[in-house]
Structure formats: structure tokens, C-alpha cells
Structure 1
Amino acid sequence: MITERDQLQPSYTNLIKERDQLQTSYNSIITERDQLQTNYNSIITERDQLQTSYNSIITERDQLQTSYNSIITERDQLQTSYNSIVTERDQLQTSYTNLIKERDQLRTKYTNLTTEKQLQFKIQQTAKEELQSRYNTMRNQMDLLQRERNGLQQKLNDIYTNNARGWLYFRSSFYYISAEKKNWDDSRQYCRERGADLVIINSREEQEFLANVVGSIKGIIAWIGLTDRHTEGRWKWVDGSALITGYWGDGEPNDTGEEDCVEFYPVNKKWNDRQCSATDQWICEKSAA
């Protein structure tokens, strides 16, 4: 009996060891299983989080798509408005073409829809400002033309009115040739009472005009607005300006007997100095402005 027990004892000890080893392996497997379960749970959790993130991204994508569609619609509306403005400004076709070229060049540099929207706004704003500028320019030109027209109409009315009163028009001035005779001072006074003065002859053309007009009246000799009564030999016009070019007759002026005033002989288109107290017809002049 003892012998058999002793024989079984090693087997029993081996079984115990094998059992312990199996128990250790079992425990290791259980630990590994628990770790795998934990990892599995972590992966499940991470998967759920990724699913949530994915869903959020899908939602955000849909919102972005909606915003994109809204921007596209708004851009199309702006394009329609732009085309309407272009249709209404035929007279600015050249400027419009330049703006379209600029818009196309800028479009190639920007693919972002927001940038394109800003570009459309800039093009429209530039077109509006240019249209406003052109409109203001045309308005100013129209106002200027209207003022010029009114001025010309006023001049025509003045010409008609003065012609009816015996005044003749020549190069922005009206001329009146008297029918009666007065001395130089009274002749000048007559002119001044009518907003004029004795004529000042500033050019060869004016001299010829007066010679032709006055010369048509037989035997006329007329006072003009030239005198040296303040300083002998220094001839001045009635506006105080000095004589530059004179059309004196032969030997004139000769100052025979204090001849300080000037009369005009249309027959020979010459001037003569004469006493201011003498009586002649006279020529008045006033501006047509």
C-alpha cells in the first residue's frame, strides 16, 4: 500500500503542477480576453464617435451645399441686374467692354464663389459710378449749352430790339448814327444816357464797317470818342485808353484853333481834329454782351 502510494505521489505532484500551469494559462487567457474585450469596447466607442463625426460632416456638407446654392442664385441675380444696367447704357458701350474684359481677367484668378460675388459687386459699382460720372458730364454740358442758347437768344433779342430803335450790330457791338447835330460833349452825353458812349475804333475792320455804313448817308461827318483836351497831343479814347492806330487825313491832326476832338469823314475814311464846340452828327457804341 505504501509502495503504491509512493508510486502515485510523483504522478499526483505532476498533475498538481500541470493543474497550476493550466490555471496560470487560464488566468492569462482570461486577462487577455478582458483586455481584448476592453479594446473591443474602445473600438466600438471610437467607431461610434467616428460615426457621429461622419454624420456631423455630412450635415455640414449639406449646409455648405445649401449655402453654395444660395450664393449661386444670388450671383445669377446680380448677373441679371448687371445685364439690365448694360442694356440701359448703350452710349457707354466702350466702357462696358473694358469692364467685361477686366471682369473676365479677374474671374480666372479667383475660383472662390465669395470672391466672385465681391468681383460682381465691384464691376457693378464701377459701372454705376462711371454712368453717374457720364451723366453728370452730360448734364453739365446740357446746362452749358442751355446757358449758351439763352445767351444767344438774349443777344438775338437785343439785336432785334436795338435794330428796331435804329442801332446797327457789328462784332459784339451796337452802333447808333444820329440824324441831328450836336457839339462833342452833348453828343457824348446823348450816348451815355442810352448806356453807350461815343464810338471807339479799335481795328481796321471796324473802321471799314463804319465808313461803309456812315458813308451811305450823304454828306455826313460824325464825332467819334477820341480827344486830347486833357493833354495836348496825347490822344485818348473816352474809356481812357491811349490811341494806338489812327486813320488821320493828310496833315492831321493839326490843332488849328484848339481842335481837341475828332470827327470821322466816311467819304475818304479819314479822321480830322476839330473844335469840340462845333456841331456834327455822331456815332454811339455800346456792347452787345
Structure 2
Amino acid sequence: MDLTFYNSMGYTHLCGTQSVLKLVKTMTLYDQADMLCRNEGANLARPRTSSRWKCMADYVEPRATGVHVWMDITDKNAEGTFVFSDNTPVPLPHYWLPNEPYPPSAPGADCVGIWPSWKQWDDLPCSNGAYYLCEIEF
């Protein structure tokens, strides 16, 4: 597969996955990050498999230490039910930080970011600023 077009847009093909990734190091709100990815034919990154998650985490960890990175997981529609933006369920296993996600009794943390230093997921308010990871799936 010729990846020249994707590379010219700043995307990288990793780990033999069926997608390319681009980390954007601009502090951005979740909905804005989602829109910016979609504007270039991408989505926020979707960890559909354990191997894909490991690849994403390994890619982000040295590039965003100390900064959350948005990916395409939310429970905006139903508290405690985490889905991708296409409404497909997020497959198990999940990679939450200890004590995450917040319990449904603590609403407001509806978007999920990667905490790169720990290579785990963090349940955050969508109004927080974070870097973001765009993905184009083949």
C-alpha cells in the first residue's frame, strides 16, 4: 500500500495495523478535536483490539508525557456505557487507570483520554484541553 498521501498529512503507519495515526500536540477540547480529525477524513483513534491499543499507547507515550491525549471513547449518551462515536461498544479489555472510570454518581467526566506515562485510560470532562490522536482506518 502506498502511504505517501497519508505521510504528507502527518500520519504514520504503525505495527502493521489497518490504520494510520497522527498525534496533534495542541491543547484542544474533545468535541473540537473530534471535528478537526473528521475534517481531514479521520476519526479520533479507536483502540478496537488489544494489539491496536498497545501500538497506540507505545506511539503516544514518548511524545506526550504529562499530557492527556483524546481518543474516540465517550459515555456521553449513557453514563457508564463507553462507545466509539459510531456507537459501537468499546471491546474488552479496557485499560483504565486505578479508580477509573468515575462512578455514574460523579457525572461530567464523559470523554476518555490516554494518560501516556501510564499507558492507561482516564475518564475526563470533555471540556478539558488535551492533545489528540487522529486515525484513518483502511
Range with bigger deviation, 175-184 or 214-223? 214-223
Aligned to 2:117, the other structure's residue is in SS state coil
Q: Does 1:241 pair with 2:88? A: yes
TM-fit CA distance, 1:233? 0.9
Q: Does 1:272 pair with 2:119? A: no
Q: Does 1:193 pair with 2:39? A: yes
2:51 match: 205
Q: Does 1:228 pair with 2:70? A: no
For residues 221 and 247 of structure 1, the distance between their equivalents in structure 2, rounded to whole angstroms, comes to 14
Task: Indicate the structure with greater helix content.
Answer: 1
Aligned to 2:134, the other structure's residue is in SS state strand
Gaps of 5+ in 1: 1-154
Conserved 8 A contact 1:254-1:273: yes
TM-score by length of 1: 0.44
For residues 188 and 216 of structure 1, the distance between their equivalents in structure 2, rounded to whole angstroms, comes to 23
Alignment of 1:1-289 (within 5 A): 155-156=1-2, 159-170=3-14, 171-217=17-63, 218-245=65-92, 246-255=94-103, 256-288=106-138
Q: How many residues align?
A: 132
TM-fit CA distance, 1:165? 2.3
For residues 213 and 220 of structure 1, the distance between their equivalents in structure 2, rounded to whole angstroms, comes to 14
- Paired AA for residue 278 in structure 1: N
Moved over 6 A (4+): none
TM-fit CA distance, 1:220? 3.2
Conserved 8 A contact 2:79-2:107: no
Conserved 8 A contact 2:115-2:122: yes
Deviations 1:206-235 (A, max 9, x none): 111111111121333200100111111111
- Paired AA for residue 226 in structure 1: I
TM-score by length of 2: 0.89
Whose RCO is larger (CA < 8 A, sep 6+)? 2
For residues 269 and 203 of structure 1, the distance between their equivalents in structure 2, rounded to whole angstroms, comes to 15
TM-fit CA distance, 1:244? 2.2
Gaps of 5+ in 2: none
For residues 86 and 12 of structure 2, the distance between their equivalents in structure 1, rounded to whole angstroms, comes to 21
Aligned to 1:262, the other structure's residue is in SS state strand
Deviations 1:16-35 (A, max 9, x none): xxxxxxxxxxxxxxxxxxxx
- Paired AA for residue 176 in structure 1: K
Aligned to 1:236, the other structure's residue is in SS state coil
Q: RMSD value over aligned CA atoms?
A: 1.4
For residues 69 and 32 of structure 2, the distance between their equivalents in structure 1, rounded to whole angstroms, comes to 13
Larger radius of gyration: 1
For residues 27 and 107 of structure 2, the distance between their equivalents in structure 1, rounded to whole angstroms, comes to 21
Task: Indicate the structure with greater strand content.
Answer: 2
For residues 86 and 114 of structure 2, the distance between their equivalents in structure 1, rounded to whole angstroms, comes to 18
State the percentage of identical aligned residues.
Answer: 25
